Structures are given as structure tokens and as C-alpha cells.
Amino acid sequence: MPPKADVKDYIRTIPDFPHKGIMFRDVTTLFSDPRGFRICIDQLLSPYAGMQIDKVVGLEARGFILGGAVAHQLSVGFVPIRKKGKLPGKTIEQDYKLEYGEATMEVHDDAILPGEKILVVDDLLATGGTCEASIKLIERLGGEIVSAAFVVDLPELGGRTRLEAMGIDLHWLCDYEGA
């Protein structure tokens, strides 16, 4: 077997999960391989070398793994944005639409200070709803979005277009056609 050279080489695809017709892009195989995980974090970081970033925001749940590693490498703080009801302190909330219904993301109301430069990190960009809700939370606290970085983009689901329409700078390591 040839050596794995690209982040995409470490990502497993699981057909029909969680529903028939879905091709699930499983990044846990990337995380479990030390070389793959190092390549991933290095590539997520590279566009931001020399830029001012005050905090990294990770989106629940795999964004916590990536965001924590990126924040560590940048020597900045890490802020989790979670699903409603998971944070213990005083929070602010943002609702967003899912394919079938709505959900709510929240962040501690003192996690981001006005004027702080924020890098948003998550594993996958699909429809962009979770990331959009998170960006709105960050902006309500006065944070300034530097960029949003993802391991995987699924362009056919429209998240990239949605976030670019908001004026968000985007970075992703690989993409897959189809859902």
C-alpha cells in the first residue's frame, strides 16, 4: 500500500450512515493516526501564520478536538460553542434551522471579548447552519471573525456559498462531491 500523503487519504467513508444514501465522511480515522492528525493540524494552521488570532472557537463536537490542537499550536485560548444545555455558566443562544426542525447553539457570555480576533474550526462544512449560528454568537459578543477552517467541505450542500455570502474567509483541506 502506498504511503498516505494527503489528509483525504486518512478519512474513511461509510456508506448509508446515518441514513440510506448518505456517504458519511469519518474523520476519526484521521484523528487516530499520529501522522495524519499532525498533517491535518499543520495544514489547518498554515494560512494563519503571522496573523493576529486571539482565540480559536471549536464547534461541537469534533471541532473541539481540532480547535483545541490549533489553539495549542497558536498559543491562544480555546472557546467551545456547544449545543443548548451543555455549558454550565451564563450563556447566549442562537437558533438555526436543520433539515427537519431547529436546534440551538450557545456560548458563555464572557468567552469572547469585544475586538478579539477569532478563528472558527470544525471538522466538516455541509449546509453551514451550525457555523453560521456560531458566527452570529461570536459577533454578538463583539468578536471579529478572521476565518473559518474545516477539514472537509461538501460543496453540493451549500455551506461554502452560505458563509462566503456572509463575507467569511474560508479554508478547507479537502472536499467531496455528493452528500
| Residues marked as catalytic | 62, 99
Whether the Cβ atoms of residue 134 and residue 104 lie closer than 8 Å to each other: no
Spatial separation of the C-alpha atoms in residues 66 and 14, rounded to whole Å: 21
Spatial separation of the C-alpha atoms in residues 46 and 49, rounded to whole Å: 6
Spatial separation of the C-alpha atoms in residues 86 and 82, rounded to whole Å: 6
41: amino acid identity, one letter: I
Spatial separation of the C-alpha atoms in residues 11 and 25, rounded to whole Å: 7
